[in-house]
Structure 1
Amino acid sequence: MQEKIPVLREPVRKRRGGKKLLAVLLLLFIVILCVLFFNSSISKISSVSVEGQKYTLATDIRKAAGIAVGDAFFGTTASTIQARVKTLKPIEKVDVIKSFPGKVRIVVEEYQTVAFELSDQGALTAILSNGSSVPTGADTIVDKPILSGWKADDPVKAQLCKELASIPPQSLSDFSEIIPAPSMAYPDRIKIYTRTRFEVITAASLLPQKISALNAVIETQEPGLITMLLADTYVPFAPDAGENKDNGKKETTQ
């Protein structure tokens, strides 16, 4: 008796056209969503806030940042904005925080104020640790020394500002005025007048290392002339120095 051989069925071929169509539709859907997103208000900058500035105008910082309300939120990176704002001379540090949707926060830190100066027009300007000058407000408290007789492009002035930044603020509070007094031996020699009626002759490059000894003399001695260069000397003013202090001065040869 012969057995019947079962008929083998051909496997059903899966239709690939359906998957391809689904992929195309999905891609088209994603493209439409992207177009709608980037053309909607949710993808735009809705606010730009500036914090931390004292002398620099917020409008100048926004202008330097190169962004404004209505610009594309993802059009500019935070690092790019930081680099732009740092081109402003008073700005030392910048932190940019982007919060979706639409908020950009720019937090700046200006260089330290180390002194003040009167402009040619008689306006008070603040001198920062990097040597740049910025206008101050009318209500500014002058708690730093006044720089007098300095040229704007004097390299010693820039060096002095850098050195003043390394000195604790409480040590600068007694400094009333600083003027240039260059000599052959010390091109960066300076003269400091204090609020406690001392005169100090030193060099800008030596000031940070001499400040401790200077404070010790001021705290323990009567007003006089202090010289702190190669050697440190102290000469008290004559008893009538309050009326005519120049009579008690002793010029240094250093």
Structure 2
Amino acid sequence: MPKSQIPVLKQNRPKGNTSRKIVIILLLLFIALLAVLFFRSSVSRISAIEITGNVYTTTSELLEKSGLKKGDQFFGTSAAEVIERLKTIKAVSTVTVDKQFPGTILITVKEFPTVAYELDSSGVLKAILSNGTSLNVPPTIGVAVEKPILTQWKPDDPLKAKLSEKLAQIPNELTTDISEIIPTPTPSFPDQIRMYTKSQFEVITTVSLLTDKVEYLNQVIETERPGKITMLEADTYVPFIPDNPEDGAEPGASQ
């Protein structure tokens, strides 16, 4: 009697991998759907842009330069890109951008400090910033009386920018008495300037020597009568009214 063969039982294939793949695909589709819905919703868009710290630069100018608009995608522009755009404005020194979800962007601007003022050819008062930039003074902010006035300077004079940098390096208390600064270049001293003070002194010095000589200037102003102070290679002081008016001799210079 022939032997009967036992049929081979089919092995059950594991279904775990297939189920896991289906779950992953569904999850990815769900995430993609949420992303589409999010970026189409108002929550993903800029709802408010606040700009603070600007004095000479208008808010509208800063907003236009930033490239931001209400209704734009909140994540469409990085803070670094906005900072780089705003720093191309000459008056702007530093910028910080704080993106607060949902929808609010806070921009804080710091401009270069004001070191002096000048009247242009049409009589308009302009502020001179520490980087040499000249800007109209908005009528709403007024004028800092402790800052000097630059007169007789050409608009494109490169010494004006250097003078602005030097004034920015000097503490305010040392420049408060300076009322006017005029360029008086000579062959020996091409960057020579003449300054007048509120305490009625006349001062001759150079842009390059100003920061080194300002201490001497204030010592003379605090201790001597009004006169002429020369601060070049040597420092001298001569009073306008001699000690002995009846004596016609030239008064001696102090150093």
| 3-state secondary structure, aligned to 2:218 | helix
Q: How many aligned residue pairs are there?
A: 235
Match 1:189 to one of 185, 188, 192: 192
- Output the CA distance in 2 between the equivalents of 1:58 and 1:182: 40
* 1:13 equivalent in structure 2: 13
- Output the CA distance in 2 between the equivalents of 1:140 and 1:204: 24
Q: TM-score, normalised by structure 1?
A: 0.88
Cα displacement string for residues 86-110 of structure 1 (whole angstroms, at most 9, x for unaligned residues): 0000000111111111111110110
Q: CA deviation at 1:18?
A: 2.6
Cα displacement string for residues 176-222 of structure 1 (whole angstroms, at most 9, x for unaligned residues): 00000001111000000000000000000100010111100000000
* 2:104 equivalent in structure 1: 103
Q: Does 1:203 align with 2:192?
A: no
Q: Does structure 2 retain, via aligned residues, the 8 Å contact 1:116–1:142?
A: no
**What letter corresponds to residue 60 of structure 1 in structure 2?**
E
- Output the CA distance in 1 between the equivalents of 2:169 and 2:9: 91
* 2:79 equivalent in structure 1: 78
| 3-state secondary structure, aligned to 1:68 | coil
Q: Does structure 2 retain, via aligned residues, the 8 Å contact 1:179–1:190?
A: yes
| 3-state secondary structure, aligned to 1:55 | coil
| 3-state secondary structure, aligned to 1:70 | coil
| 3-state secondary structure, aligned to 1:184 | coil
* 1:59 equivalent in structure 2: 60
Q: CA deviation at 1:20?
A: 2.3
Cα displacement string for residues 65-121 of structure 1 (whole angstroms, at most 9, x for unaligned residues): 110111111111001000000000000011111111111111011001000001222
Q: CA deviation at 1:142?
A: 3.0
Residues 141-160 of structure 1: matches in 2 within 5 Å? Answer: 141-160=144-163
- Output the CA distance in 1 between the equivalents of 2:172 and 2:32: 59
Match 2:143 to one of 125, 140, 145: 140
Q: CA deviation at 1:32?
A: 0.5
- Output the CA distance in 1 between the equivalents of 2:55 and 2:224: 38
- Output the CA distance in 2 between the equivalents of 1:210 and 1:118: 27
- Output the CA distance in 1 between the equivalents of 2:147 and 2:87: 25
| 3-state secondary structure, aligned to 2:152 | coil
**What letter corresponds to residue 32 of structure 1 in structure 2?**
L
Q: CA-atom RMSD, angstroms?
A: 1.8
Q: CA deviation at 1:172?
A: 1.2
Q: Does 1:214 align with 2:197?
A: no
Q: Does 1:118 align with 2:122?
A: no
Q: TM-score, normalised by structure 2?
A: 0.88
**What letter corresponds to residue 78 of structure 1 in structure 2?**
A
For structure 2, the 5+ residue unaligned runs are 1-6, 243-250
* 2:235 equivalent in structure 1: 232
Q: Does structure 2 retain, via aligned residues, the 8 Å contact 1:224–1:235?
A: yes
Q: Does 1:24 align with 2:25?
A: yes
**What letter corresponds to residue 176 of structure 1 in structure 2?**
S
